């Protein structure tokens, strides 16, 4: 658990909004290659780590994504501040008051704060009624700039990527709270599994591709470069918590259906049986406003059995939180699944 938590913390501190995830991809790639695994970078920048198994003709793909929510500079305003456009499915209220970093084309990084233009209650009496939207939200840059030209002189331009401070903390009560647990918690679990397979000299029953995608938050992550031998495709991604949901922060969440429709019934049943056989605490749930890389692979034409499970993540796409018990349950199901036979 300590290794996974520290890997999560390291990953969340690597800025990787969709479209600018190379550093996070290379972080995972370096670890996999140091362990001796075969890796491949796809044309769109995703990472595939192949672990050979006994059965080469019936293979698995397990995907998790290192790309995160973020933003991009849309306009340099007359006051020198920045208007931004959002990357990924969330709203401005989730990042109001957040510290951020702007990465320029030359690689320079500037810090700032995402503010409502009319933030000061001493000046704007009814600012609580102002919509948090593109018109009113802006980045206050931590530099002396009061004009378009002064900001441009810093090297900041339209199209520069904006990343949010993850604010990662691990509490003594066993919680980990941070932005971007979706889906860096899952990537950290895959890294620890790869270490275990190598250190314990484990032989998997099926050749498995671990697909680390870099565009999941914008809808087209692990849906290409898939082997024709893949039978099972698992999206290792967060469980969505809230009113009416059965999932929690202390179990592994197995998705029966999301906004795209039901997941493969046989594969879902296999995951449930693995939890029962291995005394893994689990919940089966439906995520009403959610899609995964497993569903995008289906839409791209992959002939696969698709499934989804992951740690229960509170406050998704905002200041997220989960507990080590949920991470442990998810890690145990991941291991049990990889060691099982494909059941058709």
The three state secondary structure string of 176-215 is EEECCHHHHHHHHHHHHHHHHHHHCCCCEEEEEEEEEECC
Of 192, 216, 325, 328, the active-site residue reads: 216
The secondary structure of 19-74 as a DSSP string is: T--HHHHHHHHHHHHHTT-EEEE-TTS-EEEEE-EEEEEEEEEEEEE--B-EEEEE
For 24, half-sphere exposure in the C-beta direction (CA atoms, 13 angstrom radius) is: 32
* Run of H or E residues at 150: helix 148-153
Closest listed residue to residue 14, CA positions, set 144, 159, 129, 161: 161
Whether 168 contacts 188, CB under 8 Å:
no
Q: With beta carbons less than 8 A apart as the criterion, state whether 240 and 285 touch.
A: yes
| Nearest Cα residue to 132 out of 98, 183, 174 | 98
Question: DSSP class of residue 341?
Answer: P
Alpha carbon distance 8, 89 (integer Å):
22
Helix (H), strand (E) counts: the chain: 7, 19
Q: Which helix (H) or strand (E) holds 304?
A: none
How far apart, in whole angstroms, are the C-alpha atoms of residue 66 and residue 236? 12
Under DSSP, is residue 157 helix (H, G, I), strand (E, B) or coil?
coil
Q: In terms of DSSP bridges, do strands 161-164 and 70-76 run parallel, antiparallel, or are they unpaired? A: antiparallel
Positive or negative CA dihedral for 192, 44, 84, 291?
negative
Tell me if residue 33 is catalytic: no
Query: Where in the sequence numbering do the catalytic residues fall?
Result: 216
């Amino acid at each position: 658990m300590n290794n996974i938590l520290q890997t999560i913390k390291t990953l969340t501190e690597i800025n990787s909004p969709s479209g600018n995830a190379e550093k996070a991809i290379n972080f995972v790639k370096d670890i996999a290659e140091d362990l001796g695994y075969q890796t491949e970078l796809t044309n769109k920048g995703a990472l595939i780590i192949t672990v050979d198994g006994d059965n080469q003709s019936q293979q698995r793909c397990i995907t998790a994504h290192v790309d995160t929510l973020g933003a991009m500079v849309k306009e340099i305003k007359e006051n020198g501040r920045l208007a931004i456009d959002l990357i990924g499915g969330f709203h401005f209220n989730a990042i109001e008051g957040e510290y951020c970093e702007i990465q320029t084309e030359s690689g320079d990084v500037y810090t700032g704060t995402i503010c409502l233009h009319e933030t000061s209650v001493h000046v704007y009496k009814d600012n609580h009624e102002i919509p948090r939207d593109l018109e009113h939200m802006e980045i206050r840059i931590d530099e002396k700039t009061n004009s378009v030209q002064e900001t441009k002189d810093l090297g900041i331009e339209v199209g520069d990527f904006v990343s949010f401070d993850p604010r990662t903390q691990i509490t003594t009560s066993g919680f980990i709270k941070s932005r971007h647990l979706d889906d860096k918690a899952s990537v950290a679990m895959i890294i620890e599994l790869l270490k275990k397979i190598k250190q314990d000299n484990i032989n998997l029953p099926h050749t498995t591709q671990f697909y680390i995608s870099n565009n999941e938050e914008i809808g087209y992550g692990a849906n290409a470069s898939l082997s024709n031998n893949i039978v099972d495709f698992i999206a290792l991604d967060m469980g969505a918590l809230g009113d009416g949901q059965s999932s929690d922060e202390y179990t592994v969440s197995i998705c029966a259906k999301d906004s795209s429709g039901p997941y493969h019934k046989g594969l879902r049943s296999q995951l449930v049986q693995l939890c029962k056989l291995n005394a893994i605490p689990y919940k089966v749930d439906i995520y009403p406003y959610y899609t995964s890389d497993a569903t995008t692979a289906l839409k791209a034409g992959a002939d696969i059995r698709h499934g989804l499970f992951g740690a229960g993540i509170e406050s998704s796409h905002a200041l997220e939180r989960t507990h080590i018990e949920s991470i442990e349950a998810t890690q145990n199901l991941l291991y049990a699944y990889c060691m099982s036979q494909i059941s058709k």
